[in-house]
Chains A and B, each alone.
Chain A
Amino acid sequence: MTGLLYLIPVALFMGGVGLVAFIWSLKSGQYDDLEGAAWRILQDDDTPKP
């Protein structure tokens, strides 16, 4: 049972990290342009345009 003393805080902490990460991503506007984000990954921005 002593394992619980570690496991519960660990579980809560990890959940909390997930929550904070989500709220941060929401605040920094990462959900503002879902369509654009999907295309951006396909762009070769490291090759200069002719």
Chain B
Amino acid sequence: MTLPCCTIDGEYFQPFKLEGEDAERWISSAGPGLKRIEFLVPQANRPEAMAQIETDLSALGGVTSARVNLTGRRVVVVYEDGAIEPQALIDRLGFLGYMARPFDPRETGLSKDDREGGRLLRALAVAGFAAGNVMLLSVSVWSGAQDATRDLFHWLSAMIALPAVAYAGRPFFYSAVNALRMGRVNMDVPISLGVLLASFMSLFETINGQQHAYFDAAITLIFFLLAGRYLDHLMRARARSAIAQLVSLSAEGATIVEGDGTRRYVPSREIKAGMTVAVAAGERLPADGVIREGISDMDRSLLTGESAPETVKPGSEVHAGEMNVTAPVIVEVTAAGNDTFLSELVRLMSAAEQGQSLYIRIADRLARFYSPAVHTLAAITLAGWLVLGQGWHGAIMAAVAVLIITCPCALGLAVPAVQVVASGRLFRSGVMIKDGAALEKLAGVDTVVFDKTGTLTRGEPALIAPLMVSTETLTLAAGLAQASKHPLSQALVREVAKRGLTPVTVSDIAEHPGLGLSGTHAGEQVRLGSRAWCGVEESNEDQGLLEFAFRRGGKPPVVFHFEDKLRSEAAQTVQELKDMGLAVHLLSGDRDAAVKRVAQAVNIDTFVSRASPQAKLAYIDALSKAGRKVLMVGDGINDAPALAAGYTSMAPATASDIGRTAAETVWMGESAFAVVQAITVSRRTQRIAKENFALAVGYNVLAVPLAMVGLVSPLVAAIAMSTSSIIVIANALRVGLGTTTSAQSARQAFDQETDPRKLRDAA
């Protein structure tokens, strides 16, 4: 059932179809006779939407409850089984103007993130509770509790701290054990060792009625470190969930034609070689194949970077991911799933990923030196005290004090705190960083390689000449163009709408694939299409422009020129990058003339045209071999291997799924300036992270000698550790200062980006 409804800003869209058995996997039980289904609704981003959806859906018969999650842009509906069909809910949401899609958190890996986050948060809560109470008791001890009272307080502290350490410390213990098993050392090794030794030593002291109990230090340490760990997790989860939302909106099925002519919709994964698929105009091809019936044009821009659609006829080979623009075609599938051109690219991509040397994050690089140094110092302390004849007890206490004081509390926070502030700031301006390593790598980049179509340009053509065309001609041409999905036709219609004109109604419109359109207006024949179609002489000079000719009856024809317009601030972006001392290259699969034109417009000297995906990969590899740290910026399927091969990579949100997945950073919004912004912020982040390291190491330089000579009492340890952590956090907050594009405008950019047609086009 399709309601004749469903518009967003005047654009029609087709509500999602829940088909067959497949529908079952979205639905779960919510008590006797009740079912629960979750939808992803990208347009539910305003509080009014929340109220509207909840009120409206709750009023439907059979709906028990409807609740919107504004942060995740999701709607959870609980309904009586049999009283209402889930499809009716989707249609109703469509009627209200929201494109809804059933959503399974498992599918996007979000629920795993959520569980991980929940675990960390619970551990943080337990550590916080224990740290507070133990600190309360410790303060009494420091302020002079004696003998039996002191022992009582120590015992109480032990009873709170030991279970808390065992519970909240697990993330560190597991990670340390894993690292040791693989024969490596990470930051968690000294952390675990310090915490465990401190706990056991304190327990020993408590049993013997001695005064050196470090319970508060052990648990506070875990608390601070968990805070760092949780921040790190939060940053990755945020970007991932936003990207998952974009990805999960992609199309995932095709209409197959059975031997007896019946048509049936199947999910992409069920398509096999030998099947016959019907592809309507405006749909993407689900698999590689050969055209059996129909003549049409294929938009290959995502695959090859070529901006002009190519005409196909029976016998032509077509590839998965191409968009069918003009007329419906019947395709016989020759390869599906793992055999397609697309999968070939995926293989290239994973090979490129494996070939990349593993990036080691700053904190882990530091850990390589830090852990041995700390353990050596502790051993020296132990030996020194023994040599000086101070006895085992004193020697062990001093050695443990060294381990506690050097526990990388501030170090553990130094980088995550800075990175979470930085990624939050970038997120508000529409740049999503997938993890901390990407942020660190962005700062080290020295060469930027851009793709052309869809990256430096918008990927949709716009009319540039002749601008002085009569209104009559333009509206008539647009009247014809309305009937077509050809990118140039749509550009013409957009231009007319932009000028505030209304296309003239043309009758008898027919689309002639590979040629153009024809129709009748006021008794005259009108034609729009290639030069030959309209009787214009072919010109030999290729200016890198796309063109459409228009002819009305016997009048002289007009040739419209189109250009794939640059993204706003593209030239400025390139200039800024050059000013920052980066080399900028342009690498495109498009024709020479078109690439040259763009390169000149944005002032890039080094450019390569007609590059196949393999050639792009080879180009990036060659640069990397020459010692360059390359930031690849691209959007297409053909860019994916290059994106994976680059030192790091960025893709616009309008990119193909595979491009977005391959890129380490994704930006929302129309402007290319996000690239500059991301690099600037990452460089500043790196600087402040290094400052934080200097602060943390400086603190150790001061504190370690004190610990070695045995001057670090539990009180000194507690103060030193908290102070260093707070200083590091305060310093991290500086990343958020300074000029930012206002959150509001970024928000708007984000909302525009989640516009359904863009999502559909991108998918």
Contact = CB atoms under 8 A, between A and B. Distances in A.
Interface string A13-50: 00110110011001000011111100110110100010
Given A32-B69, A33-B71, A1 B133 contact: no
Interface in A1-21: 1, 4, 8, 11-12, 15-16, 18-19
Nearest to A18: B129
A39 B49 CA distance: 11
B222 to A, nearest CB: 15
A14 B710 CA distance: 37
Given A12-B133, A15-B133, A23-B125, A1 B149 contact: yes
Nearest to B52: A49
Interface in B125-147: 125-126, 129, 132-133, 136
A39 to B, nearest CB: 4
Interface in B146-167: 149, 152, 156, 160
Interface string B41-85: 000000100110001000000000000111110000000000000
B50 A32 contact: no
B427 to A, nearest CB: 13
Interface of A is mostly: helix
Nearest to A32: B69
B122 interface: yes
A32 B71 contact: yes
A40 to B, nearest CB: 7
A40 B152 CA distance: 48
B121 interface: yes
B70 to A, nearest CB: 3
B118 interface: yes
Contacts, number: 51
A19 B136 contact: no
Given A26-B121, A32-B69, A43 B129 contact: no
A42 B51 CA distance: 11
Interface string B103-120: 000000000000000100
B621 to A, nearest CB: 43
Contacts of B51: 43, 45
B71 A26 contact: no
B47 A43 contact: yes
A49 B57 CA distance: 13
Contacts of A19: 125-126, 129
B700 to A, nearest CB: 32
Nearest to B56: A49
A11 B71 contact: no
A44 to B, nearest CB: 9
A16 B50 contact: no
Contact of B125 (A26, A34, A39, A43): A26
A49 B55 contact: yes
B71 A8 contact: no
B47 A42 contact: yes
A34 B351 CA distance: 41
Nearest to A14: B133
A31 B51 CA distance: 19
A24 to B, nearest CB: 11
Interface in B449-498: none
Contacts of A40: 50
B70 A8 contact: no
B103 to A, nearest CB: 14
Contacts of A15: 129, 132-133
Contacts of B121: 26, 31
A34 B69 CA distance: 9
Given A15-B129, A16-B129, A26 B50 contact: no
Interface string B644-682: 000000000000000000000000000000000000000
Contacts of A45: 51
Nearest to B70: A36
A31 B341 CA distance: 44
Contacts of A43: 47, 50-51
Nearest to B160: A12
Nearest to B45: A35
A19 B131 CA distance: 12
Contacts of B125: 19, 22-23, 26
A9 to B, nearest CB: 10
Question: In this complex, which of A12, A15, A36, A43 has the most chain B Cβ atoms within 10 angstroms of its Cβ?
Answer: A36
A37 to B, nearest CB: 8
A34 B72 CA distance: 10
A12 B130 CA distance: 9
Interface string B186-229: 00000000000000000000000000000000000000000000
B129 A33 contact: no
A36 B69 contact: yes
B47 A39 contact: yes
B50 to A, nearest CB: 6
A18 B55 CA distance: 35
Contacts of A11: 133, 136
Contacts of A36: 47, 50, 68-71
Nearest to A40: B50
Nearest to B156: A8
Interface in B306-324: none
Nearest to B133: A15
A6 to B, nearest CB: 14
Contacts of A32: 69, 71-72
Question: In this complex, which of B70, B118, B132, B149 has the most chain A Cβ atoms within 10 angstroms of its Cβ?
Answer: B70
Minimum-distance CB pairs A-B, first 9: A36-B70, A39-B47, A19-B129, A33-B69, A35-B71, A35-B70, A33-B71, A22-B125, A15-B133
Given A15-B132, A18-B129, 9 more contacts: A4-B152, A15-B133, A16-B129, A19-B125, A26-B122, A33-B70, A35-B70, A36-B47, A45-B51
8 contacts: A11-B133, A22-B125, A31-B121, A32-B72, A36-B68, A36-B69, A36-B70, A39-B47
